Amino acid sequence: VRDKRRSIRDKTSTSKHIPDNLLPRVAIIGRPNVGKSALFNRLVGGNRAIVVDEPGVTRDRLYGRSYWGDQEFMVIDTGGVITLSKSQAGVMEELAITTTVGMDGIPLASREAAIARMPSMIEKQAVAAVDEATVIMFIDGLVAADIEIADWLRRNYSDKRIILAVNKCESPRKGQMQALDFWSLGFSPLPISAITGTGTGELLDLVCSELRNFEGFDGVEEDENYVPAIAIVGRPNVGKSSILNALVREDRTIVSPVSGTTRDAIDTEFTTEDGQKYKLIDTAGIRRRAAVASAGSTTETLSVKRAFRAIRRSDVVALVIEAMACITEQDYKIAERIEKEGKACVIVVNKWDTIPNKNHQSTTHYEQDVREKLRILDWAPIVYCSATHDSSVDKIISAAALVEKERSRRLGTSILNQVVREAIAFKPPPRTRGGKRGRVYYTTQAAIRPPTFVFFVNDAKLFSETYRRYMEKKLRSDAGFPGTPIRLLWRSRK
Ligand code: GDP
Q: List pLDDT tens digits, range 229-251.
A: 999 999 889 999 889 888 876 54
Which residue's alpha carbon is at the smallest distance from atom 18 of ligand 1?
Answer: 239
Which residue's alpha carbon is at the smallest distance from atom 14 of ligand 1?
Answer: 257
Q: What is the pLDDT of residue 87?
A: 37
Q: What is the pLDDT of residue 257?
A: 42
Q: CA of 302: how far to CAs of 287, 291, 437, in Å?
A: 9, 11, 48
338-352, 383-397, 438-452: which is most confident: 338-352
Higher pLDDT, 391 or 427: 427
Instruction: Return phi, psi of residue 400, to 5°.
Output: -65, -40
Measured in Å, residue 377 CA sits from the centre of ligand 1 at 24
Q: What is the pLDDT of residue 89?
A: 40
Measured in Å, residue 238 CA sits from the centre of ligand 1 at 6
Residues 352-407 have pLDDT tens digits of: 999 888 887 888 888 999 999 999 999 999 999 999 987 788 899 999 999 999 99
- Mean pLDDT calculated for residue range 427-437: 89
Among 56-65, 103-112, 323-332, 484-493, where is mean pLDDT lowest?
103-112
pLDDT category of residue 494 using cuts at 50, 70 and 90: low
Which residue's alpha carbon is at the smallest distance from atom 24 of ligand 1?
Answer: 351
Q: What is the pLDDT of residue 337?
A: 96
Q: Who lines ligand 1 at CB under 6 A?
A: 234, 236-242, 255-257, 284, 350-351, 353-354, 386-389
Higher pLDDT, 175 or 31: 31
Sheet holding 25-29, edge to edge: 49-52, 60-68, 71-80, 25-29, 134-139, 162-166, 189-191
Give the ligand 1 atom nearest the CA of 282. 4
Tell me what percent of the chain is helix, strand and coil, each rounded to the nearest 5.
40, 20, 40
pLDDT category of residue 100 using cuts at 50, 70 and 90: very low
For residue 379, give the nearest of 317, 325, 321 by alpha carbon.
317
- Say what the pTM is: 0.59
Measured in Å, residue 278 CA sits from the centre of ligand 1 at 22
Give the ligand 1 atom nearest the CA of 238. 3
Please state the ipTM of this predicted complex. Answer: 0.93
